[in-house]
Amino acid sequence: MLFPTTDFAIFFGVVFVCNWLLAPFALRWKLFAILASYVFYAWYDWRFIFLLAVSTIVSAVAGRLIHASRSPRVRKRVLVLAVAADLGLLGFFKYADFFAASVDNALHHLGVGGTPIGLLDVTVPVAISFFTFMAMSYVIDIYRHDLEPAPFVDVAVYLSFFPHLLSGPIVRGSELLPQIARSRQRDPRAIDLPTATFLIFGGLFKKVVISSYVSTAIVQPVFDAPSVHSAPEILLAAYGYAVQIYCDFSGYTDIAIGCALLLGFQFPQNFDVPYTARSMQEFWRRWHMTLSFWLRDYLYIPLGGSRGSRRMLYRNLMVTMVLGGLWHGAAWTFVIWGAIHGVAQCTGHWHRQRRIARGLTPQSERPIAVWLQRLATFHVVCIGWIFFDSATVNDAFTMISRLVTAWSGPDPLVRLPVVAAIVGSLALQFVPNGWSARAREVFGRMSAVAQGAAVGATLLVITTLGPPGVAPFIYYKF
């Protein structure tokens, strides 16, 4: 079930009413929330609700056993079994065919034919990466004594809650479980309606209008056939994909956060104008922040983080970013994308340490230097996006090679509306945060009739400018 559809509007309307009618009755509300979330997930494919249920049972039972045991050895064994079960499900459904194909290709290049390895043609369950990471963090936090085990029904709500289920944000147990436990204390009169409205309709505009237009006008035609396009078209498509994926993914999470607010829950922020970043390290503090912090807390720091030698630091950065790339998809394009970000982070760390050793600040603060840092970071990100969205590694290298060699051909896809949409979307990243707060304040002071008229006008603009139908969100496949 996609957010920008009539089906979801009807579904959410029913859930919204029932949510607040059942709010005073904690158990009834929790059971309803689970039912509604499983219906939402089953809308995609009913068979995968059993996978979500298994992940929930494993996490809830493992959390209880870890908390109840006083034996460090038993606690660690239960943790390892729980994490292995989660990763086993994720690995089978998401990576079985990838590794089978990779081994088969390697053997073929070595001249070994007729191998028994074949594709299983496994259908990847939507959202498996997201609820698997949430399930793992729940068990690990209990093992670390950072979280108390929750009742089973609360864990089921936590992992299945439909606003975050399909594409995040990745919400920690410490962030959502206390809100679920206090669900009876929610007050519909305390809903931050202006913020929720701005998030939902802003997210719809980013997804339905900007992301869809840029995708059909420049990104999809170029990435589908890079060998027939000119360098200006490829360059604009790379910039366009940066806009498309940001508007698509941040649009989804804005809608998710807004819907959760209307139901009385707060989710963590997931994006913070990432294309204003001056380094790759800062980019990951602004892009998909819930994943970035998850990788930091559950992978990078356990590997050793920045402790130890410089070589160990670089190893930890590379392992984290490459595995982060592989998390996004079972393809070598994602591995290379993660490696690009890892190398860029290692290079940035080396440069900062060199400046500190010379008695300078980690980064130059001169205005021209700040903008050069932003330009360099943005273009490294865009090179990574070429691999991220390319169907094959060869397609990605074709695009990069034609950026150098194909400047003499025609470029019919480079049109003023496309350029304006891309430049305008990037420019909005640099608008001060205060303007949106003032706009929400003005909206909040308006009468109910005026608010309704504003919402209606916004919907009219979205439906008029948006394309027929709505493409799935990019991150559904991850």
The answer for residues whose C-beta is within 8 angstroms of residue 163's C-beta and 6 or more apart is 256, 257, 259, 260, 263, 265, 267
Per-residue b or e along 43-71, where b marks 16 or more CB atoms closer than 10 Å to that residue's CB: ebeeebbebbeebbebbbbbbbbbeeeee
Let me know: does 201 contact 251? Beta carbons within 8 Å: no
User: Taking Cα atoms as reference points, which of 212, 255, 203, 243 lies closest to residue 468?
Assistant: 212
Count other C-beta atoms under 10 Å from residue 393's C-beta.
14
Let me know: does 98 contact 121? Beta carbons within 8 Å: no
Residue 473, Cβ density class (10 Å: 0-12 exposed, 13-18 middle, ≥19 buried): buried
Let me know: does 16 contact 263? Beta carbons within 8 Å: yes
Pinpoint the alpha helices (H) of 358-415: 367-389, 393-405
Q: Percent helix, strand, coil in the chain (nearest 5)?
A: 75, 0, 25
CA R_g for the chain: 24
Active site residue 349: no
23: left (phi over 0), alpha (psi -120 to 50) or beta: alpha
Task: Give the Cα separation of 241 and 219 in Å (integer).
Answer: 6
CA atoms within 13 A on the CB side of 115: 17
Q: What is the sign of the dihedral through the CA atoms of 205, 399, 278 and 295? A: positive
Count other C-beta atoms under 10 Å from residue 447's C-beta.
8
> Within the chain, what is the greatest distance between any pair of CA atoms?
74
Task: Give the Cα separation of 2 and 9 in Å (integer).
Answer: 10
Task: Give the Cα separation of 10 and 59 in Å (integer).
Answer: 32
- Catalytic residue (one of 164, 229, 328, 349): 328
Task: Give the Cα separation of 210 and 204 in Å (integer).
Answer: 9
| Structure tokens that stand for 318 in this block | 């590379």
Task: Give the Cα separation of 477 and 347 in Å (integer).
Answer: 31
Q: Please report how the helices 152-160 and 128-143 are oriented relative to each other, as an axis angle in degrees rounded to 10.
A: 140
Q: Which residues are catalytic, by number? A: 328
